[in-house]
Structure 1
Amino acid sequence: MGNVRSRAIKRISKNIVISFYDQCSVDFESNKHVVSSVTNVQSKSYRNKVAGYVTTLMKQIKDNKIQTLEELI
């Protein structure tokens, strides 16, 4: 079974990947810093959930499960 994420987390994460693709990576720690710098998320757990989904999306892009960024929209 996979993780269930809210619509807001998915929406924010997809927008970050589309807008800041060059700053995102498959590393969770670096994505935490990107999320902190480009959003105003106050909660640490919410920031970590967004960063985790950004990491998941970047891994899917790397493994060619997502071919283009337009598929995220």
Structure 2
Amino acid sequence: MGNIRTSQIKRLSKQIVRDFHDQLSTDFQNNKHVVEEVCSPMSKKMRNLIAGYTTRIMRRFKDQEIQVLEEL
């Protein structure tokens, strides 16, 4: 079983996906750099958690599980 992410991580990730979906992809490393540029200074762990959840959202969008990103 995986780790449960806090509501803060989910909220920030969804906001980043809504605002910067054109810069994000299904690649964690790319998303990590985008999150680092977009968000204010944060810890490495929090940056990685947000990048991981944004990667998961983008994969679900690519696999057609999510139709509209703005409804997140």
TM-score normalised according to structure 1 size = 0.93
Q: What is the root-mean-square deviation in Å for CA atoms of aligned residues? A: 1.0
> Once the two structures are superposed, what CA deviation does each residue of 1:20-42 show, in whole Å capped at 9, x if it has no partner?
01000000000000000000142
Give identity over the alignment, percent: 56
Equivalent in the alignment of 2:40: 40
Whether 2:39 is the aligned partner of 1:13: answer no
Amino acid at match of 1:51: A
**Unaligned runs of at least 5 residues, structure 2:** none
**Unaligned runs of at least 5 residues, structure 1:** none
Q: 1:1-73 counterparts in 2 under 5 A?
A: 1-72=1-72
TM-score normalised according to structure 2 size = 0.94
Q: After TM superposition, where is structure 1 displaced by more than 6 Å over at least 4 residues in a row? A: none
